Amino acid sequence: MDRKNSIEYTLLSRCYNPGEEDKVIEILEQRYAADGNYKNYLVLKPTDNATVVERKTLQEMATNFLHDSRSARIRNGMKENKYSASKTRNEFKLFIKETQKAQETLLRKISKLPKGTDPSQFPEFKKVLKFEEFIGLNALWEEYARDVLYPAGETGEDPLNLMTKITSMDLIGSFLTVVKSNNFNMVGLCGIVAWESQHNFLVVVPRLDGWKGEVNGLGDAEPSKKSFSWRETIGGMRIINKKNTLFQLKVPTKDASQYIPFTIVGNRFQIKSHERASRKFKAHNVRDL
Amino acid sequence: MLCDLNIPWPVASYNQRPTMLQVHSLKQILCTLEELGYSQVAFNFELIPPNKVPNDTKTPNPIDLSLFKEFKGRIKLYTRITLVIDDPSQCQGLSKLTRAFDIIAVRPRSERALQLAVSSLECDLITFNYGERLPCYLKHKTVCSAIEKGILFEIVYCAAVDGPAGSISTDNGITDAGISRKHFFNGVASLIRASRSRGLVISSGATNPLLCRNSYDVINLLTVLGLASSTSKQCVSSSPAKVLLNGTLRIRSYKQTAAIGDEPLAGGVGSASERGNSVSHFKRKLEDNTVLQRQKKKLSS
């Protein structure tokens, strides 16, 4: 079957019995052939009082436009509804909210069960973000980081140069670890950045144990830790405030055999990522660090 | 964490090296400070105008911390430079020094120099010679704008404890030590007034072990001078730590946004300037035991 006609094929196949596929294929082949029974032209015939109708419809269209509520609002300089669900921003917000809700519900349900229960049996588990799905994004980011930090002809041995570039880099897709935070629950959290806003990092964290493959490697994520909390076993999305938080970012070296650790000062990163790229930074009082 | 950010380096110029005797006396001071409970100590190299930073030098830092290897793990040592400025034209070689010293301090000797240090110099500390009169009347606006920017002011108490004890009356009325003490109390009182008791750091400036004081003695001295006891506690502990953090960030980060290395920023491993400015120092081996690596492996298998 021709791939490009797949939609037409499925539509047409509904009109015929299951045995008659070759008929459908025949129609499709003739549809785009130069000499077939089915021609691809549109028949336009004049209707009665064509000119009058045309004028009327134009006028109607114009009045319709003038009285249409949406366009009227635009003309009057009124704002569009910023809570409209069709806006991308709101859709994203809704997505975050739903994912968080699913995570919380799953946590509530699973915490009543004995340890080691498989969370995938619950329907909410489908909505929780999976760390594995974001590993591809991380690989893309590492490639991007290497392109940005070590352009052709540069050794990448000047720390100041590297740090300047890190500051203006996009961090979506990078693997961040919280080193220090005023919120001690966040310390040690690590994951791939899915989104960066002005004040927060949206991070996807891995499931630490108690689920399938991770059961065998129990405890070697952090060898000192014997058991994980329910929240850690579910993983998923975390929103980390940048304020009063230090992040560690590991960047591969030029030959990718080693890595260079960087410490990101969250307080100084409270800028939207697209503004950060072109911003001139200034040293400030360190009383908040 | 107690800090003493001012132990004068015995040599005043770049060409000389400290003699064995001088190094020995520095070690004695360090031992005394350790006994008194200090954990962070900075050597202060003072650059007085006729001496200049040599143009062609590859090592703008004359302080050799490798002489004090036995203090490793006991006291964290830092290096500091104090630029003595009379006139704004004197501080052109500053950019060379910014990444070589842990702390950059300025000692202005005129009002214009103080104004310059506050407004445009990239420094961490402003200090004065408390054995003499202050160079000018300290205005609240000048001092507080510096503190707002993160430049703190230093009080050096050796002017108050040096010299013979008590007031010995001679033919001239008072001895030299008495005069220096008088200037000290005057100067510090006006600094406390101008800074509204914010952003002050106290350090010893001790040239011999006898001039070092216990932190409680220092706090007591400051309380006598009119600081609240909680603020005077900050002068020996948290404020100097801020100065050190500011210095560390100046060396290791780009405008305090992203810093290189995985050592903690505050109360770090010791002199950042000692380790040079090359990336290779910060490189680490890839571990395959991290969460990310294991997840990757699981996915590929």
Band of pLDDT at residue A222, cut at 50, 70 and 90 = very low
Residue B167 pLDDT > 60: no
Instruction: Tell me whether residues A259 and B283 touch, CB distance under 8 A.
Output: yes
Q: Among A133, A260, A269, A270, which would you mutate to test the B interface (most chain B Cβ atoms within 10 Å of its Cβ)?
A: A260
Helical ranges in B5-100 per DSSP H:
20-35, 94-97
pLDDT tens per residue across span A144-154 = 888 888 877 77
Instruction: Tell me whether residues A258 and B283 touch, CB distance under 8 A.
Output: yes
pLDDT at A218 (0 to 100): 34
Mean pLDDT of B57-76: 75
Same domain, residue pair A148 and A106: no
From start to end of B109-267, where are the E strands? 125-126, 152-156, 200-203, 253-254, 258-260
Nearest CA among B73, B229, B289 for reference residue A224: B289
Q: Is the pLDDT higher at B151 or at B265? A: B151
Same domain, residue pair A141 and A240: yes
Nearest CA among B60, B130, B92, B91 for reference residue B277: B60
Chain B residues lying within 8 Å of A250, measured CB to CB: 284
Instruction: Tell me whether residues B261 and A263 touch, CB distance under 8 A.
Output: yes
A132 → closest Cβ in B246, B250, B295: B295
Domain that holds residue A96: 88-128
pLDDT tens per residue across span A24-66 = 888 777 776 666 666 556 666 766 655 555 556 667 777 776 6
Chain A residues lying within 8 Å of B150, measured CB to CB: 283-287
Residues counted in chain B: 301
Same domain, residue pair A102 and A156: no
A249: β partners: A176, A262
Chain B residues lying within 8 Å of A260, measured CB to CB: 260, 279, 282-284
From start to end of B37-86, where are the E strands? 38-47, 76-85
pLDDT tens per residue across span B25-41 = 888 888 888 888 888 88
Chain B residues lying within 8 Å of A287, measured CB to CB: 150, 242
Instruction: Round to whole Å and give the CA distance between A174 and B17.
Output: 48
Helical ranges in B80-214 per DSSP H:
94-97, 111-119, 140-149, 158-161, 176-195
B158 touches B183 (CB < 8 A) = no
Instruction: Round to whole Å and give the CA distance between B195 and B184.
Output: 16
* B153 alpha carbon, distance to own chain's centre: 10
How many CB pairs below 8 Å do chains A and B form together? Answer: 133
A220 → closest Cβ in B282, B289, B296: B289
Same domain, residue pair A96 and A166: no
Q: φ, ψ for residue A153 (rounded to 5)?
A: 90, 0
Instruction: Tell me whether residues A163 and B296 touch, CB distance under 8 A.
Output: no
The distance of B108 to chain A (nearest Cα, Å) reads 21
Same domain, residue pair A241 and A154: yes
Least confident of A81-85, A145-149, A264-268: A81-85
Instruction: Output the six-digit token pair for B232.
Output: 């005077």
Band of pLDDT at residue A158, cut at 50, 70 and 90 = confident
Q: Is the pLDDT higher at A113 or at A201? A: A201
Band of pLDDT at residue A162, cut at 50, 70 and 90 = confident
Q: Tell the CATH superfamily of the B2-247 domain.
A: Metal-dependent hydrolases (3.20.20.140)
Residues counted in chain A: 289
Encoded amino acid at B267, one letter: G
B67 touches B31 (CB < 8 A) = no
Pick from A99, A128, A157: which residue ends a domain?
Answer: A128
CB neighbourhood size of B284 (10 A): 13
B214-253 residues touching A, CB cutoff 8 A: 242, 245-246, 249-250, 252-253
A263 → closest Cβ in B148, B259, B279: B259
Instruction: Tell me whether residues A268 and B286 touch, CB distance under 8 A.
Output: no
The distance of A42 to chain B (nearest Cα, Å) reads 53
Query: A98 lies in a domain?
Result: yes
Same domain, residue pair A148 and A271: yes
Dihedral, CA atoms, A27, A32, A36, A41, nearest 10 degrees? Answer: 110
Listed in sequence order, the residues at least 6 apart from B62 whose beta carbon sits closer than 8 Å to its beta carbon are B9, B11, B14, B45
C-alpha angle B19-B23-B26 in degrees, rounded to nearest 5: 145
| Ramachandran class of A222: left when φ > 0, alpha when ψ lies in -120 to 50, beta otherwise | beta
Residue B269 pLDDT > 60: no
A258 → closest Cβ in B122, B253, B284: B284
Instruction: Output the six-digit token pair for B2.
Output: 């107690």
B94-153 residues touching A, CB cutoff 8 A: 122, 148-150
Instruction: Round to whole Å and give the CA distance between B177 and B164.
Output: 7
Environment class of B89 (CB within 10 Å of its CB; exposed 0-12, middle 13-18, buried 19+): exposed
Average pLDDT value over all residues in chain A: 75
Q: φ, ψ for residue A233 (rounded to 5)?
A: -75, -25
Query: A34 lies in a domain?
Result: yes
Residue A265 pLDDT > 80: yes
pLDDT at B264 (0 to 100): 64
B93 in contact with chain A, both atoms CB, cutoff 8 A: no
Instruction: Output the six-digit token pair for B196.
Output: 């509204």
Least confident of A265-279, B70-84, B166-180: B166-180
Distances (CA, A) of B288 to A108, A215, A223, B199, B294: 34, 18, 13, 46, 7
Strands B258-260 and A258-265: antiparallel
Instruction: Round to whole Å and give the CA distance between A114 and B300.
Output: 31
Helix/strand/coil (H, E, C) string of A76-130? CCCCCCCCCCCCHHHHHHHHHHHHHHHHHHHHHHHCCCCCCCCHHHCHHHHCCCC
The distance of B165 to chain A (nearest Cα, Å) reads 39
A162 touches B281 (CB < 8 A) = no
Instruction: Output the six-digit token pair for B10.
Output: 């015995």
Residue B138 pLDDT > 70: yes
Same domain, residue pair A136 and A123: no
pLDDT tens per residue across span B180-224 = 788 888 888 898 888 888 888 988 888 888 888 888 888 998 888
Same domain, residue pair A115 and A162: no
Chain A residues lying within 8 Å of B201, measured CB to CB: none
Same domain, residue pair A139 and A170: yes
Whichever domain contains A196, its CATH number is 2.30.30.210
Same domain, residue pair A137 and A260: yes
pLDDT at A247 (0 to 100): 86
Mean pLDDT of A78-85: 68
pLDDT tens per residue across span A11-33 = 888 888 777 778 888 877 777 66
Which residue on chain A is closest to B295 by alpha carbon?
A132
pLDDT at A212 (0 to 100): 35
pLDDT at B82 (0 to 100): 86
Average pLDDT value over all residues in chain B: 79
Strands B76-85 and B103-108: parallel
Nearest CA among B116, B129, B31, B103 for reference residue B74: B31
Query: A50 lies in a domain?
Result: no
Residue B144 pLDDT > 80: yes
Instruction: Tell me whether residues A268 and B255 touch, CB distance under 8 A.
Output: yes
Helix (H) or strand (E) holding B296: helix B291-300
Mean pLDDT of B67-79: 80
Nearest CA among B47, B48, B3, B42 for reference residue B26: B42
Q: Among B198, B201, B291, which would you mutate to test the A interface (most chain A Cβ atoms within 10 Å of its Cβ)?
A: B291
Distances (CA, A) of A51 to A46, A54, B121: 10, 5, 81
Residue B280 pLDDT > 70: no
Count of structural domains within chain A: 3
Q: DSSP label at A33?
A: S
pLDDT tens per residue across span B88-120 = 776 666 777 777 788 888 888 888 888 888 888
What residues does each domain of chain B span? Answer: 2-247, 260-300
Residue A224 pLDDT > 50: no
Least confident of A160-164, A182-186, A209-213, A267-271: A209-213
B79: β partners: B43
pTM here is 0.70
Distances (CA, A) of B238 to A223, B2, B83, B114: 34, 8, 24, 24
